[in-house]
Amino acid sequence: MKSPKLPLVELYTDGACSGNPGPGGWGFILRHEPSGKEIEQSGAERETTNNRMELSAVIQGLTALKRSCRVHLYTDSVYVGKGISEWMAKWKKNGWRRGNQPVKNTELWKQLDELIGRHDIHYHRVAGHSGHPENERCDELAVLAYQKFLGAS
């Protein structure tokens, strides 16, 4: 799967929550530079956590890909980045456990693990709320998505 012949795409993601837990949203931008094609998507949940929304943004972005790709993933989530690059291999080896406890958000991590297996992922950390245009747009998408739950009972 790790082939330079795979198409290269950029995936920018962000998650946001109003309260933690609380209403939350996710957003992503998926870009294929050679063709100029770009898509934006977002979604929300009534009661969730920021970490779940960060994971959901990556999962939804990778799910939008119709074939295997080299993916440059840009996220401000240390949780997602370290999970992918450092923690997930250990968690899998230990039956998705951290010490005596199950890994939080196991079902999302398993889903992400399956998607990562289809692609060649290159993780890039972006400083959140630092003026990075795509990160700011993903944050905007995520916030707009969860706002439909604010004030609703």
Smallest CA-to-CA distance from 109 within 61, 71, 52 is with: 52
Does 139 qualify as catalytic in the annotation? yes
Does 15 qualify as catalytic in the annotation? yes
Q: Cα dist. 48→7, 28, 36, 80, 121 in Å? A: 34, 18, 34, 16, 26
Catalytic-role residue among 33, 117, 124, 129: 129
Does 120 qualify as catalytic in the annotation? no
User: Running DSSP on this structure, what letter comes out for residue 152?
Assistant: -
The DSSP bridge partners found for residue 89 are none
Chain centroid to Cα 59, Å, comes to: 5
Catalytic-role residue among 76, 81, 119, 134: 76
Does 129 qualify as catalytic in the annotation? yes
Q: Is 81 helix (H, G, I), strand (E, B) or coil?
A: helix
Catalytic-role residue among 10, 25, 45, 54: 54
Give the whole-angstrom CA distance, residue 62 versus residue 151: 32
Does 24 qualify as catalytic in the annotation? no
Catalytically active residues, by annotation: 14-15, 54, 76, 129, 139
